Amino acid sequence: MTTLRLGDIAPDFTQESSVGPISFHQWLGDSWGILFSHPSDFTPVCTTELGATAKLADEFKKRNVKAIALSVDPVDSHLSWIKDINETQSTTVNFPILADADKKVSNLYDLIHPNASTTATVRSVFVIDPNKKIRLTLTYPASTGRNFDEILRVIDSLQLTEYHSVATPANWKDGDDVVIVPSITDPEVLKTKFPKGFKAIKPYLRLTPQPNK
């Protein structure tokens, strides 16, 4: 089994889902995407996670991000579970849940870790850019729910750093100062790219206001 690494092309697949068959790359189109896996349907932590994702629909849309979940249970199970999620989390699930009963996608994305469980998928998250490249991977144990504020924060960082010559420091949040990448040293380029100026703490550590704010 090949381990997926940052910069790899996210494997394409066609699989059944709660909204019908999905061809993954075609479904993503020109959007960013998050693919996140769940150990199984009708489990408490997963129920809260899918509810949280549904409530963040506007935040994902603002960032041109499509969300898609996965569980190894079949479609009819997903449809019943969605009713429970909507009821208990006071929301409406508005994204597909892949029905990976044959574990095709789970195997492509290495989501079953035998030393944790031989049948249930781990809680993994993949952030995928419009070029279908994997830009982030996170894997949680089955007992720990994901922090969706952190997932949004990373997406904000990835989208910012994709188009501006900056990186984001520890605990950065949208609107905070950012770091100028060390490769830019020409004073004229610095003036052009960072008209708000910057503070040089060390030659390699230069803080500047977030360029797109």
For tokens 């809680």, what's the residue? Answer: 123
CA–CA dist 149, 205 (Å, integer): 26
Contact 24, 10 (CB under 8 A): yes
Largest distance between two CA atoms of the chain:
61
- As given in the structure block, the two tokens for residue 147 are 């922090």
Phi, psi (degrees; rounded to nearest 5) at 190: -60, -45
Active site annotation includes 46: yes
Query: What residues contact 112, with CB distance under 8 A and at least 6 apart?
Result: 103, 106, 118, 119, 120, 121, 122
For tokens 């991977």, what's the residue? Answer: 137
Catalytic position from the list 46, 67, 125, 155: 46
Distances (CA, A) of 113 to 25, 124, 125, 142, 146: 25, 11, 14, 11, 18
Give catalytic residue positions: 46
